[in-house]
Chains A and B, each alone.
Chain A
């Protein structure tokens, strides 16, 4: 039995040029140029395939060499760039014949990943390889106009790869779905394609992530991906954490949103009660949250940031695994109210301490004691009796803000910072 690669981008990687979606002109240009090598080496000894990520640059080079019966020697410029490996390119390029006797193509992937500081001279070395090569050199780059690539641009045949249009990408995604026995709504597919703005690799990745454990994908199922916008997608991410079937999925969902872990915790904590109506499920979910909180506390206390990982385990997977009796359903999600309240509390506790200090000056008591033994009663008095309140304020020398606090009249400032009724619902 043949073992298929786990990742769909590998499993459905085109092997031949005619399987590649889109960029027909670029592919044809590449093929013609490579074919011209069969007779005599053309004037341009290298081709630079450039364009955004996921548009098929590398895969075209691979498929073209396979179609034309070339042997592919691939070097990823961005991760194995030592002087030795670059020297090796020059060496291989200068060789007269390959070991197998077949013609070869040398692929230098991601040349724009070259670091001009730590890889000083790399570009020049590549340029000299191009001048001396006996084999076709294919280079790829996202941004060919990078100044450091200037010496290469004049030596290469420039072939542009463009973002994939919906006309090209949707049929390709459709093919994958069919192969995976996945039933997908047209709208859903379109959403995935549009969302990734012409990047086929990430479209396929999204499709695989979304369909994990499903045989059917609807528009609502993919909607949670949202656009690459923080505010909109937090709800979707929460939804997929709360409804995750596996730990890995819950954990991964947390990575999909650009939010710091402590804020993510607040979101999950705020919305957990509504998600788990069954008391037993809720107990487990909350214990997981309490554990996550413990790890966050220890992490802050000891400055041992590696503990974050455990906190994330509990707040995502721990909460997701609590679901046993509560059926998943879409519940309205709300903003972590506590964040706003905490901000207000901070301001008020500062005020309280100030009032406490005033009382301590008059009543032979500590600030803490004054806050505990006097302020609750003062609040009553200030609410009930203005005259008395005025006398006491004068005696204690309270300022306006303090009086406002004690009499329960909220200052405008407090209201501004804590807008009530701000509630987000999922789109």
Chain B
């Protein structure tokens, strides 16, 4: 995958995030660092920054002193605790007196698990530095935030993404034009990984990557079915709307909550009487709550569709 192949290897290669890179370089120089909290949207370089930092601190055999752990993959705080214990216990022979443990998606941990994590961080603070990465720092409990240096990763600038894509394109010998890259950049919304993946998918056809090719790929990888489903149900084609819903949920594996989010956006964009929008928003909220209780996604969402259809039919 190009996203991995063209991942920056040293801090200087990282696009954008200038201040972050500067601060990280200081850590390398002094061979010391605090616990860190990397916050920012996906694809902005959080993992890359930790990898580069580790490589520069520990040298080529950095993998001995560096470990990644995913909060969502590791089952429960106990697993994390044991892993941390085992990892931190064995010291390295490197000049750097600590190891780095990256805990990804830390904001997905429950508050209780985070408190447990805090204690673990304290216990091994001598031998192990934590880099917690998350999308929203607000979801990380205060005691942890206060123990970490906060780094905010911003969405990448369009021109940085575009130049990176162009470099990749040349190295891979891909035919592309500026419009094609621009389309990718717009769609990616500052997410480098998404941009590179889209580029690779578009290039895989073997044809020139132009605007059309990009939209073709994106249209399939990120189905715009929500809008279509909404139109079907406003046109009183309920059964078809439900089939579409079913397809999204089951075949594309999109979560009910995600569909709700998209519906929420759509409801304020499509042609509807203003009052209806807010009525539908209320129903959306109710359905969201029900889904959180564990109700069946398709059943609840199709009840929602039936309501939208009925409300708009009553308007005519």
A residues with CB within 8 A of B: 269, 273-274, 279-280, 282-283, 285-287, 289-290, 293-294, 297-298, 301, 337-338, 341-342, 344-345, 348-349, 352, 359-360, 362-369, 371, 373-374, 376-381, 384-385, 388, 392, 395
Contact = CB atoms under 8 A, between A and B. Distances in A.
B271 interface: no
Nearest to B217: A380
A376 B105 CA distance: 21
Contacts of B206: 384-385
Contacts of A359: 1
Query: Which 7 pairs show the lowest CB-CB distances between chains A and B?
Result: A283-B310, A366-B70, A290-B303, A286-B306, A380-B201, A377-B197, A279-B310
A360 B70 contact: yes
A293 B4 contact: no
Interface string B55-84: 000000000000010111100000000000
B51 interface: yes
A376 B204 CA distance: 13
Contacts of B221: 376-377, 379-380
Nearest to B102: A364
A333 B297 CA distance: 23
A269 B70 contact: no
A282 B4 contact: no
A280 B307 CA distance: 8
Interface residues of A, dominant DSSP: helix
Contact of A293 (B71, B201, B300): B300
Nearest to B307: A283
A395 B104 CA distance: 23
A418 to B, nearest CB: 11
A273 B238 contact: yes
Contacts of B47: 364-365
Given A273-B238, A287-B303, A395-B1, 8 more contacts: A279-B236, A282-B310, A290-B300, A359-B1, A360-B70, A360-B73, A373-B43, A384-B205
25 contacts: A279-B238, A283-B311, A285-B306, A286-B305, A286-B307, A287-B307, A290-B299, A297-B296, A298-B293, A338-B298, A348-B253, A362-B4, A364-B4, A366-B71, A366-B105, A368-B105, A369-B104, A369-B105, A377-B217, A378-B1, A381-B200, A384-B205, A384-B206, A385-B205, A385-B206
A373 B309 CA distance: 33
Given A279-B236, A379-B221, A380-B201, A374 B290 contact: no
B42 interface: yes
Nearest to B298: A338
A413 to B, nearest CB: 17
Interface residues on B, range: 35 or more
A376 B222 CA distance: 8
Interface in B1-25: 1, 3-4
B294 A297 contact: yes
Interface of B: 1, 3-4, 42-43, 47, 51, 68, 70-73, 104-105, 193-194, 197-198, 200-201, 204-206, 217, 220-222, 236, 238-239, 242, 246, 250-251, 253, 290, 293-296, 298-300, 302-303, 305-307, 309-311, 313-314
B197 A294 contact: no
Contacts of A367: 70, 72-73
Nearest to B291: A297
Contacts of B205: 384-385
Nearest to B70: A366
B29 to A, nearest CB: 25
A297 B293 contact: yes
Contacts of B305: 286
A349 B253 contact: yes
A363 B3 contact: yes
Contacts of B296: 293, 297
A292 to B, nearest CB: 8
A279 B314 contact: yes
A279 B309 contact: yes
A33 to B, nearest CB: 63
A290 B256 CA distance: 14
Contacts of A269: 299
Nearest to B239: A273
Contacts of A363: 1, 3-4
B204 A286 contact: no
A293 B204 contact: no
Given A273-B242, A287-B303, A384 B204 contact: yes
Contacts of A377: 197-198, 200-201, 217, 221
Given A279-B314, A363-B3, A369-B105, A294 B293 contact: yes
Contacts of A360: 70, 73
A337 B245 CA distance: 13
Contacts of A364: 4, 47, 51, 68
A384 B246 CA distance: 26
Contacts of A362: 1, 4
Contact of B250 (A286, A294, A341): A341
Q: Which interface residue of A273, A290, A368, A369 has the most chain B CB atoms within 10 A? A: A290
Given A366-B105, A376-B222, A379-B221, A282 B290 contact: no
A384 B201 CA distance: 8
B3 to A, nearest CB: 7
A90 to B, nearest CB: 60
A157 B242 CA distance: 67
Contacts of B298: 338
A297 B297 CA distance: 11
Contacts of A337: 246
A366 B72 contact: yes
A388 B204 contact: yes
A373 B70 contact: no
Contacts of B217: 377, 380
